[in-house]
Amino acid sequence: MMNLKRYPYHFDFDQLSEGLLAFSALYDAPLALVKALAMVLNAKPSHQAKRAQFQFDAWLHNLTEAEKNTLLRTLFEQGQLTRHQALAMTQKTSTNKDEAYQYWLTPDVITPYIEQAQSQLQQEQAEALAKKLAIEKAEKEKALSEIYSQRERRWQQAQEQANRTCASGYDEASRYLHQLFEAYQFKGDVAAFEQRLSDLLRPIIVVKRC
């Protein structure tokens, strides 16, 4: 028998997994519509199955004499009679139309929530983007602070690469210099960077003139 507890069939439409997001993208289902669905389900929970409690006295009282005789005859013939067997033998077709289930999730039900869902989704996306940018900014500033604290070593590495006097060496030196410029700029010390850069380039310029 399949163990249904292993499968996430109670979906949280506000927290879609990567798989559900991929499924949504594959079938071009707008996320705003998914959020609107979540809002509808929160406001109007789906129908619950009716599970009336079995009342033995009421059931016995409603049995006809023919049904009682049938149950007694079966009991004597088989030597036993389970509750499920007895109910199956005396089951009557229900004519209560109120118990019939109908499709209640229609476009008319979900449409009023779409605009609100779209607005919430845009706000959430803006907040997520702002959070992402803040994290990236903090990581960038941390990296620049580390470069600035190690600037002497970085200048030395840039000098070593430039001294190789080849294309790859100049590329590496340029990369170090770009990192150093960003670090000095972050610390508000661009003048110091320009002075160190001038000192670094002076020997190279002299060599080229010679």
Length reported for the chain: 210
**All structural domains of the chain with their residue ranges:** 59-89, 150-209
Buried b (16+ CB within 10 A) or exposed e, 128-164: eeeeeeeeeeeeeeeebeebbeebeebbebbeebbee
pTM above 0.85, yes or no: no
Q: How far apart are CA 203 and CA 201, in angstroms?
A: 6
Per-residue pLDDT 10s for the chain (210 aa) are 434 344 344 455 666 678 777 777 777 778 888 888 888 888 876 655 555 566 878 888 888 888 888 888 888 888 888 888 888 888 754 444 455 556 677 888 889 999 999 999 899 889 999 999 999 999 999 999 999 999 999 999 999 998 888 999 999 999 999 999 999 999 999 999 999 998 888 765 544 444
Q: How far apart are CA 6 and CA 57, in angstroms?
A: 40
